[in-house]
Amino acid sequence: MDLDKLLNKTELSKEEIVYLLELEKKEDIQKLFNKADEIRSKHCGDEVHLRGVIEFSNYCSQHCMYCGLREENFSIKRYRMTAEEIIETAKHISNLGIKTIVLQSGQDGYYDTDMISFIIYSIKQSTDVAISLSLGERGFDEYKAWKIAGADRYLLKQESTNPKLYSIYHCSQSLFERLNHIKYLKSIGFQIGSGNIIGLPLQTINDIADDIISLKEFDVDMAAIGPFIPSDFTPYQNKKPGSVELTLKSMAVTRLVLKNVHIPSTTALDTLDEFGREKGLSVGANVVMPNFTPHPYREQYIIYKNKRGVKDNPDAAYNKLQARIQTIGRKLSNTKGHSYKNSLTTH
């Protein structure tokens, strides 16, 4: 295949996606990265959107083979932040000028429909922010209530769209069910964030190509592509981490295929590579998600090993992150950074 021609095509077939993911020569990979950067600039501009994350509970009723928060992991200290703590942290993030708050937790039924609605409504009353929820699979009636309470976005990763692998990674749960939740969330007007993990055991390049095509078919507003990092006290604790290079290639191809979506440069990538954030931002990413979970909780949200920044003071870490973004010549956005697609959303 002629790489230059391929990189200029508006649509890529699965074979072409696989070809790009398998590029090996440094100069070819660099061409892919440059093209992704160019497309990011054309569709999203040079601004980096910030999403302030609050990991408010690490209780989880799920059993994902790769995740340190899985219910069977009795080695971590579990915590739940109170509604007041969550709302105060959200106000603090808003006072720093960040216009999106991500409320993230394990799948934790302790926070019932009304409690989450109360938290969303209270934050919306006292700040001018967009709210993303990342709470796992919950009831369809709950999604609706939270939309009405004022939530704007929902993050639910497809993780892997190979049904066999999905069921292996998630203790026999069904991919079909997961995708159904994503479809429903979309149908009631949420902006959708999804994504997958690169380098999980048994995963092939072919699977990654299918995952990218699925993100395109779902017409997601945000696509998060991060590397697998083994987590202690999980069945995958001794498996190899995902490759930084393959993660970067996957992010770049995702930008080529999806074009006008948000793509974060993930903390997982920054954990595996000292310059992970910068590298991600230079291969198609346009979002970063600084972690504002307060001490002592932030050390306890152990999705995977050695997560970068958990010992840092949240505000100091945020300042460092801002400096890193500006050093590579990118601007920090001061808008909510809504979807590039959703014309119904007020900006």
Q: Which stretch binds ligand 5AD (CB under 6 A): 34-42, 44-52, 162-170, 227-235?
A: 227-235
CB of residue 53 to ligand 5AD, shortest distance in Å: 11
* Residue 159 engages ligand 5AD in binding (rule: CB under 6 A): yes
CB of residue 305 to ligand 5AD, shortest distance in Å: 8
Three-state SS for 65?
coil
Rounded CA separation 200/103 (Å): 26
Output the CA torsion 175→249→55→177 (10° steps).
-10
The 63-92 contact track toward ligand 5AD, x by CB under 6 A, reads ---xx-------------------------
User: Looking at beta carbons only, is 12 or 86 nearer to ligand 5AD?
Assistant: 86
User: Looking at beta carbons only, is 12 or 135 nearer to ligand 5AD?
Assistant: 135
User: Looking at beta carbons only, is 140 or 233 nearer to ligand 5AD?
Assistant: 233
CB of residue 62 to ligand 5AD, shortest distance in Å: 10
Asked if 104 and 89 count as a contact pair (C-beta separation under 8 A), the reply is no
CB of residue 291 to ligand 5AD, shortest distance in Å: 12
Query: Closest by alpha carbon to 242, among 205, 287, 189?
Result: 205
Cβ neighbours, 10 Å, residue 96: 15
CB of residue 65 to ligand 5AD, shortest distance in Å: 9
Rounded CA separation 338/347 (Å): 7
Q: How far lies 342's CA from each of 219, 220, 290, in Å?
A: 11, 10, 24
Rounded CA separation 109/60 (Å): 8
Q: Which of 154, 228, 292, 318 binds ligand 5AD (CB under 6 A)?
A: 228
- Residue 197 φ then ψ, to 5°: -105, 135
Q: What is the total count of residues that contact ligand 5AD (CB under 6 A)?
A: 12
Contacts of 74 (CB under 8 A, 6+ apart): 233
Rounded CA separation 163/175 (Å): 6
Q: Which of 226, 280, 284, 314 binds ligand 5AD (CB under 6 A)?
A: 226
Q: In the window 186-215, what residues touch ligand 5AD (CB under 6 A)?
A: 197
Q: How far lies 319's CA from each of 37, 246, 247, 313, in Å?
A: 24, 29, 26, 10
Q: Which of 73, 100, 160, 231 binds ligand 5AD (CB under 6 A)?
A: 231
CB of residue 210 to ligand 5AD, shortest distance in Å: 17
* Residue 33 engages ligand 5AD in binding (rule: CB under 6 A): no
Q: Which stretch binds ligand 5AD (CB under 6 A): 12-20, 81-89, 226-234, 291-299?
A: 226-234
- Interface residues toward ligand 5AD, by CB under 6 A: 66-67, 157, 159, 197, 226, 228-229, 231, 268, 303-304
